[in-house]
Amino acid sequence: MPTEIDAHILLVDDHEEIREMLGRYLRRHGIQVTTAEDAAAARRALRTSSPDLVLLDIMMPGEDGLSLCRHLRENSDLPIILLTAVDEATDRILGLEMGADDYVTKPFEPRELLARIRAVLRRAQSLPVTVARRRQEPGESLYFSGWMLDLGRRELSGPDGVAVSLSTSEFLLLEAFARHPKMVLSRDQLMDLTKGRGAENFDRSVDNQVSRLRRKVEADPRNPTLIKTVWGGGYCFAADVRSAS
């Protein structure tokens, strides 16, 4: 594996020694680093630069990292790695639910952080250009094979017009499929498109969610025609999809 990474990282941490130590280490590996001591400084940096990834400390004075993480995910597709303390398990979970891509627990080995940066950037760069988190337009709906997915209301209606109940994870998964029809999406990509990667055994989690979703949208879940398995690749949404507002 190459020792250098061609990337620009925004490092947000209120501890000066951490910013200096990590900044030096990452720059030795060819990474451009912009540092910010708090959320306000990070917001200013984002207005004048275009980082490829944000390293974000959760516990900071003033606006905390979770608030900034929420803002970033609502307004951009930037990959986010959280820097957390050992006793911040609940905050880590909240951060992942808000869309953070990964986390590293302090104290950590810089080599581990570098490996996680590589992995997150690799996943982000491997996604096709059209595969990205998107903010839906007001009133936008996606139509496929007689089905209608209302993105604003998060409602699915069948060909008979009857509403079908979806859990949050099922809705996000179906939206990811419907936004990227005829495209093979790996389990990693599906996790990135829905809630970010962070759960253990994420492969099995995606498989279980697909199985549950098939039972709701497929005429014969054992012989699916909408959500097809691509052996060795992931899944492909085979329907033609159109969008309307």
Per residue in 132-150, pLDDT tens?
344 445 568 999 999 999 9
97/191 same-domain check: no
| Helix, strand, coil content of the chain in percent (nearest 5) | 40, 20, 40
Contacts of 76 (CB under 8 A, 6+ apart): none
Mean pLDDT of the chain: 83
In a domain, 134, yes or no: no
Note every long-range contact of 37-46, with CB atoms under 8 Å and residues 24 or more positions apart, other chains counting: 37/12, 37/13, 38/12, 38/14, 38/62, 38/63, 39/12, 39/63, 39/64, 39/65, 39/67, 39/68, 41/12, 42/10, 42/12, 42/68, 43/68, 43/71, 45/10, 46/10
122/208 same-domain check: no
Among 44-58, 68-82, 113-127, 131-145, name the one with the lowest average pLDDT.
131-145
In a domain, 2, yes or no: no
150/192 same-domain check: yes
Distance CA 144, CA 243 (A): 9
Which pLDDT score, from 0 to 100, does residue 126 have? 63
Distance CA 174, CA 109 (A): 38
How many whole angstroms from its chain centre is CA 140? 21
In a domain, 131, yes or no: no
Which residue, among 168, 26, 175, 161, has the nearest Cα to 104 in the 3D structure?
Answer: 26
Q: Which domain holds residue 43?
A: 8-126
Percent of the chain with pLDDT over 70: 87
Give the CATH number of the domain where residue 60 resides.
3.40.50.2300
Number of folded domains that form the chain: 2
Handedness of CA 50, 8, 58, 125 (dihedral sign): positive
In a domain, 12, yes or no: yes
- Which of 81, 96, 126 marks a domain boundary? 126
59/156 same-domain check: no
